[in-house]
Amino acid sequence: MRFYNREREMESLRKALELSRSRLVVVTITGRRRVGKTRLVREFFEREGVDYLDFFIPVKSEKLILEDFSREIRIKLGYSPRFGTFSEMFEYLEVANVGTIFFDEFQNVLRVNPAIVFDLQRFIDRNRDKPLLIILSGSYLGMMRKLLMSRKAPLYGRSTIFIGLQPLRPKWVFTMLDDLGINEPTQQVEFYGIFGGIPKYYELMEVFEADNPLDFITDAIKYSTILSAEGEGLLMDEFGKAYRTYFSILDAIASGKNRLVEIANAVGMKPGSITKYLEALEDYYGIITRERPLLGGRRSRYVISDYFLNFWFSMIEPNRRHIEAGDFETLRKNLRRKFPEFFGRVFERVMLDLLHDLNGKLITFDNIGPQWGRNYEVDLVAVNREENTATFIEAKWKTNVDGPREIGRLIAKARNVPWGGEKRYLLIARDFRKECADCITIGEVLEHLKP
């Protein structure tokens, strides 16, 4: 699969490479597993024609890792001694002709030998004036923060440039899907609502072909564990001993328990005790989002902001016994039966992402988000403070929608919203039985994404 976008991150790496010609530069890259950190670095080196030492850190013995690293040095530099410790390796690199070093999955040093971090710290401090570029890439945000970002971290203050790699924006995902031969707007939106902007999942589509997302997922689960084990594996690696508590919280949120008290009751904890876990999931790990009504309101709710984790907990985890039994036809039937209800909830968030990309094209706004109160809920409200307007948006994952009737319902709900400016309305659906001036299909929305 070809490489998509990441131009801003590429420019940051070019700046780092330029600076490293006269001094030591450390670049830290973090991001969710499968988001494309390794591909970004290797694509950059290939484009720039940079020779580098490629050190991948697996979870295995320090001795075996050092053997791998010695082999890499020998291949790239022509010679390498055997190393008994990481300290010995760094001492050798100080006198070797090295310009660029890439440590991939760097967070794993905490599991191999935490002392390695201090060896690297000393290496960096001893060589600050040398022309050298070091890139540290890591998947698990909690571990990377322990190593680099908290004030007590061994490598705190050593990074020159920090890149937090985010999922691809929708326009790049839809370009990718076009290239993969998925051109029908409904299927494109469904794929995005399941996988979000994580490139690695779409690479599977080059291996497991299917006419629709659910058949693709069933076949991928049947012949590979990458999807079926992804959710649990990601959480176990990230949360360690606290895995079960975080798993239970995410499972509760995926089942529709979105309020603090509801989540606490579902996992058998007191609301005051569960708050720290919710805050960690939101602020520290970026897996959930605490939503608040855009135009005011006291009640907040939690949603899983990671698209695939949301799908995994909602659709794959409940079918685990069928997967383990190899009953893939029942899995397929269950996915088909429950998917319309699941995606009806997800479609609102997909439209939120799309409208952010289309700000200034389809509508123009300063802020956008859901709005709800005691007796009503509006999917999205887009506020333009300069024009003193608010566009009330309903996103319906349905066909044959009666546009005028649904607009009338939207207008009625908007009367409950505390907004004193001009009110506008927009209804988005798969297609309409009766159209209206404020109605638009998802296909028409995607047309606005095209250059």
pLDDT value of position 194 = 96
pTM here is 0.92
CATH 1.10.3720.10 fits 168-347, yes or no: no
For residue 155, the model assigns a pLDDT of 87
Can you give the pLDDT at residue 375?
A: 87
| 254 token code pair | 């995926």
pLDDT of residue 140: 67
Instruction: Domain 7-164: give its CATH superfamily.
Output: P-loop containing nucleotide triphosphate hydrolases (3.40.50.300)
Of the candidates 271, 237, 242, the one whose C-alpha atom is nearest the C-alpha of residue 257 is 271
Give the per-residue pLDDT at 435: 87
Long-range pairs, 289-295, Cβ under 8 A, ≥24:
291/369, 291/370, 292/369, 293/369, 293/370, 293/371, 293/372, 293/373, 294/367, 294/368, 294/369, 294/370, 294/371, 294/381, 294/383, 295/371, 295/381, 295/383, 295/390, 295/417, 295/418, 295/419
Helix or strand or coil: residue 291?
strand
Query: Phi and psi (nearest 5°) for 369?
Result: 175, 175
102, 79 in Cβ contact below 8 A? no
Closest among 315, 368, 311, 308 to 338, alpha carbons compared: 315
State whether residue 353 is helix, strand or coil. Answer: helix
Tokens 């691809």 appear where?
Answer: 168
Q: Could you name the CATH architecture of 362-449?
A: 3-Layer(aba) Sandwich (3.40)
Contacts of 352 (CB under 8 A, 6+ apart): 368, 369, 380
What residue spans define the domains of the chain?
7-164, 168-347, 362-449
Please give the Cα distance from 187 to 259 (Å, whole number): 31
In sequence order, the 6+-apart residues with CB closer than 8 A to the CB of 318 are 334
* C-beta separation of 397 from 373 below 8 A: no
Residue 62 burial (10 A CB sphere; 0-12, 13-18, 19+): middle
Q: Show the low-confidence residues of the chain (pLDDT under 50).
A: none
pLDDT at 232: 84
Alpha-carbon gap, residue 401 to 394, rounded angstroms: 12
- Of residues 203, 168, 200, the one with CA closest to residue 8: 168
SS3 content of the chain, % helix, strand, coil (to 5): 50, 15, 30
Query: Would you call 167 exposed, middle or buried from its count of C-beta atoms within 10 A (0-12, 13-18, 19+)?
Result: buried
